[in-house]
Structure 1
Amino acid sequence: MINYKDRIVSDHQVMLGKPVIKGTRITVELILRKLSEGAVIADLLAMYPHLQETDILAALTYASDILANEEVIMLKAA
């Protein structure tokens, strides 16, 4: 399993604190959006040559961990 903490960082001075690939301004959101639009890892590596496959996998791991730990609050219907 990928340890995303080595590759994903958040800094309020970079992209307003959104999680990015360390040393870049490429957000996890951008990677997920491109993949959801049909891009594959090879496409992302061609578009962003300074990325590594491990960076993309780290973004996916980060996103899945965030969702797995998401807290859902149920509100009563009015």
Structure 2
Amino acid sequence: MADYEKMKKACPNLQANLAQCTCTYSACDKTGLCCQCVAYHRKMRQIPGCFFTSEGERGYDRSYGSFCGDCS
């Protein structure tokens, strides 16, 4: 298991990432670690929440189909 707290301490972009992060999933341990977030969702065959509209993101359905519906 990755040690995201160590990664957060070492990330030079953490504050800028956090300022722009639109994810509302408060239990996410990857918040502010965009590279880790994208890699995780790609592995899960999902789209990260920041790609969705704010309404679509709050549904927490990160599937490709949900993303396509959200953008239409």
Normalised by the length of structure 2, the TM-score is: 0.25
Query: Which structure is larger by alpha-carbon Rg, 1 or 2?
Result: 1
Normalised by the length of structure 1, the TM-score is: 0.24
Whose strand proportion is higher, 1 or 2?
A: 1
Q: Which has the higher contact order (CA 8 A, sep 6+)?
A: 1
Whose helix proportion is higher, 1 or 2?
A: 2
